[in-house]
Structure 1
Amino acid sequence: MFTMRLATAADIPGVAALIRSRSTWLEERGMPTWRDSADNLAAQAENSHGGMWVLEEDASRIVGCTTVQDQTPPWGWTPEELAEPAHYLFTTVTDPAYRDQKPGTLIALWAVDHAAREGKEWVRRGCMFPGLVRYYETQGFALLHEVQRTHNRIYLMARRAERLSELDALFKDPTGTLADRI
């Protein structure tokens, strides 16, 4: 069983290992990686304000993570969009060994449902690669803006937050209350 929970400082080694595993997978395919910043990215787990969530298997192995912010970065979005309550996802990383179980999609669907439960209207995210745009579109995100930032082109995407009733059975804990379990 998978569980989605807030990360803690104790998760830093597991998140760093996850990022290095994904980096190896990306390097084998000639793609840019996070290897040089793995420790800095993993350190987000100890942010006392929360924000990094981990997807964990059987309370023993981290198989994915994402960072959730309550504020959308101000660049690239219209003033009207920035005024709408939204969660912004970034630094989503999954273990390639779990690819068949689609942990990235599980995280995205959890984020859509989680945002709705928190009264947000949108889940937003950005990426730098057209291949990721196509992948996020399969999760129901739509490309809204393309922005040139220094040396990178950023693709800004969004999906309306909504309760996903098909996930209810996957998210219920033994007490019958909604929990962040997948």
Structure 2
Amino acid sequence: MYVMRLATVADGPGVAAMIRSRSTWLEERDMPSWRDSADNLAAQAENSHGGMWVLEDDASRIVGCTTVQEETPPWGWTPEELAEPAHYLFTTVTDPAYREHKPGTLIALWAVDRAAREGKRWVRRGCMFPGLVDYYRTQGFALLHEVQRTRNRVYLMARRAERIAELERMFKGGDTHAS
């Protein structure tokens, strides 16, 4: 059973440790990692206005995080898309020790359900690696745009917000929206 809650300042060290664990896993596979920016990413937990959410297991160990913005970044999307209410996910990281439990998919489905509860039409996200595009497709996201930024190609994806009833059995007390 899991809990998804807003991150607090106290979560910073746990988030940083989880990001370093993911970085080691990525580096062992000759993939780019977040090691050099782990502390900066974890500092998002200190944002007093919220935004970073953490996924905890039964032992209150942080096994994943994501940051949710109320607005989609303006570049790469059409004016019509930007006019539709959406949440935008970024900096989603999970602990590789929990891979068999699919915490990344659980976070994505939680975000889709949360967006629907809040009257949003879409959950959007972007990534820079084709492998992540394939992974996010398994979570129901569709690739909508490819944008060349300064040095990176960014793949912009979206999934329609919807209630996901089966999430309730994965969260403590059936509460998918703890904070």
Same fold (TM over 0.5): yes
Q: Aligned ranges for residues 110-149 of structure 1 at < 5 Å?
A: 110-149=110-149
Q: Aligned ranges for residues 81-160 of structure 1 at < 5 Å?
A: 81-160=81-160
2:177 alignment counterpart:
180
2:25 alignment counterpart:
25
1:5 alignment counterpart:
5
Q: Distance in 2 between matches of 1:20 and 1:27?
A: 10
The alpha-carbon deviation at position 148 of structure 1 amounts to 0.1
Structure 2 residue identity aligned to 1:17: A
1:48 alignment counterpart:
48
Structure 2 residue identity aligned to 1:168: E
Q: Distance in 1 between matches of 2:37 and 2:113?
A: 30
The alpha-carbon deviation at position 59 of structure 1 amounts to 4.8
Q: Distance in 1 between matches of 2:104 and 2:172?
A: 20
Partner SS for 1:33: coil
Identity of aligned residues (%): 84
Q: Which runs of 5+ in 1 are unaligned?
A: none
Partner SS for 2:168: helix
Q: Distance in 1 between matches of 2:96 and 2:55?
A: 13
- RMSD of equivalent CA atoms: 1.3
Please tell me whether the aligned partners of residues 23 and 35 of structure 1 are also in contact (alpha carbons under 8 angstroms). Answer: yes
Q: Distance in 2 between matches of 1:35 and 1:171?
A: 30
Q: Distance in 2 between matches of 1:63 and 1:162?
A: 24
Superposition TM-score, scaled by structure 1 size: 0.94
1:168 alignment counterpart:
168
Please tell me whether the aligned partners of residues 110 and 176 of structure 2 are also in contact (alpha carbons under 8 angstroms). Answer: no
Please tell me whether the aligned partners of residues 7 and 54 of structure 2 are also in contact (alpha carbons under 8 angstroms). Answer: yes
Please tell me whether the aligned partners of residues 126 and 154 of structure 2 are also in contact (alpha carbons under 8 angstroms). Answer: yes
Superposition TM-score, scaled by structure 2 size: 0.96
The alpha-carbon deviation at position 179 of structure 1 amounts to 4.1
Please tell me whether the aligned partners of residues 171 and 180 of structure 1 are also in contact (alpha carbons under 8 angstroms). Answer: no
Compared with structure 1, are the counterparts of its residues 172 and 17 closer, same or farther at alpha carbon in structure 2 (3 Å cutoff)?
Answer: closer
- Answer with 143-152 or 52-61: which moved more: 52-61
Q: Distance in 2 between matches of 1:47 and 1:60?
A: 21
Quick one: higher RCO (CA 8 Å, sep 6+), 1 or 2? Answer: 2
Q: Distance in 2 between matches of 1:44 and 1:73?
A: 17
1:60 alignment counterpart:
60
Compared with structure 1, are the counterparts of its residues 123 and 95 closer, same or farther at alpha carbon in structure 2 (3 Å cutoff)?
Answer: same
Partner SS for 1:15: helix
| 1:30-89 alpha-carbon deviations (Å, 9 max, x no partner) | 111111110010000010110000000115200000000000000000000001000000
Count of aligned positions: 178
Partner SS for 2:143: strand
